[in-house]
Amino acid sequence: MQADLVVIGAGLAGSCLAAAVAQRGWRVVLLERQRGPRHKVCGEFLSPEAQASLHALDLHATVAALAPAEIYRAAIISRQGQRLDMALPGVAWGVSRFRLDAALAQAAAEAGATVREGIAGMALTPCEGGYEVEMRDGAAERTSISTRTVVVACGRHAVPGLRPPQTATASRQMYVGVKCHYAGLQLPPEVRLYLFEGGYVGLSPIEDGQANLCLLASEEAFARVGRRVPAMLDAVAHAIPALARDLAGGQRLDESMVAVGAVDTTRPTVLWDQCARIGDAATMIPPLSGDGQAMAIHAAEICAPLIDDVLAGRRSLATWQTIYAAAWHAAYDQPLRTARWLQALLGQPQISAGLIGLGTLLPNLAQRLVLATRGPQRIMGSMHTQLSTEQPS
């Protein structure tokens, strides 16, 4: 096969990028290890910033067609029940990754990209004029693609030929992520963050009247419940009375239950390693920022026109690397530092209670601090489309 661009990983960032470059008329191949829709550990929260990028990539209508839940507010709740309420800077969406990833991969295919799933093994080799991507599918059939450009968007998964994501040192706190959907909950249009020692839980509405629960717990906390996902869910509900009340009467949808281990929220950023890296392949975005999906999609928005320029001969690979790195660092270095600092503080019960109390007394300060964990607030009018910011009565 011959391609102009190979994207490794059909998650949010990879599928958005594949669709945007294919829309420009280039030969794009999108590779994915797994087959079919699947559940992923994720807060399943698309911020207003994410929607701005979807507009820029001409994918906003694709996601809107999934009928995501609208979210207008956020609340931080301590284990003791203290609560800090804040308005979001616009309308956010709650939509499951099960639906979202499939819709974006389909959008890439409809734009002209070749989507190949079930690729069990891949190896990347730089060569004259581009790269050679060797791969093996589930039937052990080996094929190769000659491509002019490559983008890695496969999260924490290593690609042979490239350096694996940096492993954690003994001094770093490692976490376990757990996700599960619930039906029958009566939630307002808000995302709720519940704090407990060793982690936190997010609960927010998604499509079809369901809710997504996503938690991050220390490996020690997960070990105390025997490393069993249902036991972890039961343990946090027992430890946080406010969460137990919000889950009362709901039905846990066990088929959506999934977990991931060895989550390192301080993993260093690597935006380029012989080729561009986007999304979680570039860095682990602290879930506390609430903007992880927006950052992944924004990386695709930054890179799509640069790839178009490279393929058309208007820029070099080195220029693409320089511009991408400068744009990413300018937008996200400070928000990531702030989010990691807040995560460390809010994981300590006494400090978190004091911070919530202070935020209640000084709501403007709290609002500014939360906004400091997010990416750039772009003017929606520049996207030639206005996003609704009206709150429900």
Q: What would the mean pLDDT of 369-377 be, rounded to a whole number?
A: 59
Q: What would the mean pLDDT of 176-186 be, rounded to a whole number?
A: 94
Q: Which residue has the tokens 């690609």?
A: 159
Q: What would the mean pLDDT of 238-266 be, rounded to a whole number?
A: 89
Q: Which domains does the chain have, with CATH numbers?
A: 2-167+265-383 (3.50.50.60)
Higher pLDDT, 379 or 31: 31
Instruction: Please report the pLDDT score of residue 390 as a whole number.
Output: 36
Q: Is the pLDDT of residue 392 over 60?
A: no
Global pTM reads 0.88
Of 3-12, 120-129, 260-269, least confident by mean pLDDT is 260-269
The two structure tokens encoding residue 53: 């990028």
Q: What would the mean pLDDT of 199-212 be, rounded to a whole number?
A: 94
Instruction: Please report the pLDDT score of residue 67 as a whole number.
Output: 97
Residues in the chain: 393
Distance, in Å, from the CA atom of 114 to the CA atom of 2, rounded to the nearest integer, reads 11
What are the tens digits of pLDDT across the range 73-129?
A: 988 888 888 888 888 888 999 999 999 999 999 999 999 999 999 987 788 898 988
Please list the residues that pair with 87 across neighbouring strands: 73
Dihedral angle sign, alpha carbons of residues 272, 274, 275, 278: negative
Instruction: Please report the pLDDT score of residue 388 as a whole number.
Output: 31
Q: Is 350 exposed, middle or buried (0-12, 13-18, 19+ CB in 10 A)?
A: exposed
Helix runs in 1-59, H state only: 12-23, 48-56
Distance, in Å, from the CA atom of 287 to the CA atom of 14, rounded to the nearest integer, reads 19
Q: Is the pLDDT of residue 383 over 50?
A: no
Instruction: Please report the pLDDT score of residue 53 as a whole number.
Output: 93
Instruction: Please report the pLDDT score of residue 362 as a whole number.
Output: 59
